Structure 1
Amino acid sequence: MESNLMVKKNQKLEAFDILRKALIISARNINFFIFTILTSLPLFFFLVYYEIFLQNFLVEIFEIVKQSPGYDYCYIIWPTGSLNVDITRKLNKEFLDELIQLCLLYLVPLHLLELSTVLVIVDLASKIYTEEGPMMSLREMVNKPFDKARLKGTFITSVYVLFLSTCILLGLISLVTTYFVVLRNFGCDVFFAALCLPAFVGLLALYLAFSAVWNMSLVISMLDGVHGTGALALAIYYSRGSEWRGLRLMLVFFAWGEGLRLPCLYFGCYEREYGIVAQISLFCLGNVLKWVVCMVYFYDCKNRAFEKKECVESADDEVGTQVETVEE
């Protein structure tokens, strides 16, 4: 594995090159593709239920928010109390239980099911990427054991990642909620949108840039056996100078996920099983590709970090040699 990584060391991969390599790994290794799809079935079935629940919840919230009174353009006035009190009562009473249930589904079963698929995808994809040899059979993939210590370490890292990502997601949700539920009621939509939109875009860009680092930390835990804050620190070190590449890669898959969800919301696919099944099928395919991309991105960033370190050490050696020569 190390010798093959040294051969790849001089390859400078941009975002498009990483995507292309990930597509090649997924498309040319039919056993890998079949096995990852099979192991993604538990996540697939849960996501069908989760998306139906989530999209129904979002539509119900949107219908309540639409009842908020309109006002003249940029004419700031306190809203009429009765209707807003009614909206607040509905949000507090009717949807609190659903919101709690949605959060629990996201934090526990969805997190664990996604982590189980990530373990399989990254482990197999790394062997395909770094090893030269015959393609693994499905039986070999099934019987291949996992390192229990690394499984535990990866879970610890995933808890850190879940906490950090949830904090930023709550910030994004709070911005949207502040605009649609609070600020919009003052009637100056354009003014408040001009304030909220840049903050939302900035926070989203921060979330995507951090996602590349967080995902790399999970790959590090699986492949290098470093977990927790150590994996996060290594991911930050390896990705230094590659932040823009990571952001662009994560933007591709964020757009893929939301590009599948928004049409389903608009056309009411959550009311038709086949629409949700089609959405989740495409999402799971994108999820496999995303983690193969994260694996390739990790190796490329790691190689670049080693090259920089070797250049610095070589420069230090040359300076030391020159100093010794002058002293002599």
Structure 2
Amino acid sequence: MHNQKLGVLDILKKSLLVFGENINFIIFALITSFPLFCFLVYYEFFFQKFLYVTSEALEQSPDYFYYYWHDTFDIARQLNKQIFYEFVQLGFLYLVPLHLLELFFVLVIVDLASKIYEEDKPMSLKDMIRKPVEMARLRGTFVTFVYVTLLSTCTLLGLIWLVTTYYVILRTSSYYVLLAALCGAIFAPLLTLYLALSAEWNMSIVISILEGIYGAEALALSAYFMRGNHRRGLVLMLVFFVWGVSLRLPCFYIGCYKQGYGIVAQISLFCLGNALKWVVLVVYFLDCKTRILEKKVDYEVGIQVKAVDE
């Protein structure tokens, strides 16, 4: 008898149950996420200040862009003069310490969440501490994490460049509404593609931690497991994308980077959502794996029945 395929809401509910029914898991998640939380508070201050400086540089008078619209690299030169070193520093913080801290957090959360979900029983804090991740698996997962970081970073840089270019062009155009609709129609599918790929890339990290398959093989296996399941992955990633944006934008517009309380509250909620996201990815992966294995068994049984009939 086949298990029923989990929908998006079912996956979210089961993931919330992992938190709600295991207070020790919540405590352990808070402890392991504390280094990431502290760094994210510092990083978010720096990042939002960087966004403010960049937006100020882009806010030139319309006449300026009207007379120099043909020089598309002028704005880039201006930004390079003002914030190049800050951009390099921000990029380093994002690529190295931030991702290393997140890798440590993900290793712990994914491993424990899978044990709790599959065994369907709570674990004590002592059991959680006594079950460290194997060193070989840690090294292999690091390789997969590097692959995913490079892929996601390059894609994000492309999307940021696209948004910045559209912003500069649209604000100086007399056909603002028409061009905005056209650019939105182009950007929406690109964002959708990025979110769908994010689900696939993140699943490859889960595969590395739980299955011991790394690098390109983990990415290929993730693509295989997601056949027929891309829509669920897209919707799940959209939920957490909206969660992150809805926390960051209001905080940026009210100037939370000028004071500490808003940033701390934002990062606290973001870390909570980040922990839930990885539990969701564990449940999503295990369900996709179950579906694929059931199809494989059905196929093999069908071949055997056909051979007997012949």
Structure 1 residue 190 displacement after superposition: 2.6
Question: Alignment RMSD, CA only?
Answer: 2.0
Contact kept, 8 Å, 1:157 with 1:229, in 2: the verdict is: yes
Contact kept, 8 Å, 1:122 with 1:219, in 2: the verdict is: yes
1:174 to 161, 174, 180: 161
Structure 1 residue 243 displacement after superposition: 0.5
Query: What amino acid sits opposite 1:259 in the alignment?
Result: S
Query: What amino acid sits opposite 2:20 in the alignment?
Result: A
2:29 to 14, 31, 36: 36
Larger Rg: 1
Partner-residue secondary structure (3-state), 1:95: helix
Runs of 4+, deviation exceeding 6 Å: none
Structure 1 residue 311 displacement after superposition: 1.3
1:203 to 190, 199, 209: 190
| TM-score, scaled relative to structure 1 | 0.89
- 1:137 pairs with 2:124: yes
Structure 1 residue 322 displacement after superposition: 2.1
1:260-315 C-alpha deviation (Å, 9 max, x unpaired): 00000111111110100000000000011000000000000000001111111122
- With over 3 angstroms needed to count, the CA separation of the structure-2 counterparts of 1:141 and 1:194, relative to structure 1, is same
1:217 to 177, 180, 204: 204
Partner-residue secondary structure (3-state), 1:226: coil
Q: Which residue of 2 aligns with 1:251?
A: 238
Contact kept, 8 Å, 1:157 with 1:217, in 2: the verdict is: yes
Contact kept, 8 Å, 2:108 with 2:133, in 1: the verdict is: no
Q: Which residue of 2 aligns with 1:152?
A: 139
The 5 A counterparts of 1:218-297 are 218-297=205-284
Structure 1 unmatched ranges of 5 or more: 1-6, 72-77, 324-328
1:226-262 C-alpha deviation (Å, 9 max, x unpaired): 0011111111111110100000000000000110000
1:158-188 C-alpha deviation (Å, 9 max, x unpaired): 1111111112111211111111124543443
* Number of aligned positions between the proteins: 308
- With over 3 angstroms needed to count, the CA separation of the structure-2 counterparts of 1:87 and 1:240, relative to structure 1, is closer
Partner-residue secondary structure (3-state), 1:91: helix
1:102 to 70, 90, 95: 90
Distance across 2 between alignment mates of 1:247 and 1:87: 34
Structure 2 unmatched ranges of 5 or more: none
Q: Which residue of 2 aligns with 1:49?
A: 42
| TM-score, scaled relative to structure 2 | 0.94
Contact kept, 8 Å, 1:52 with 1:276, in 2: the verdict is: yes
Q: Which residue of 2 aligns with 1:74?
A: none
Distance across 1 between alignment mates of 2:259 and 2:125: 34
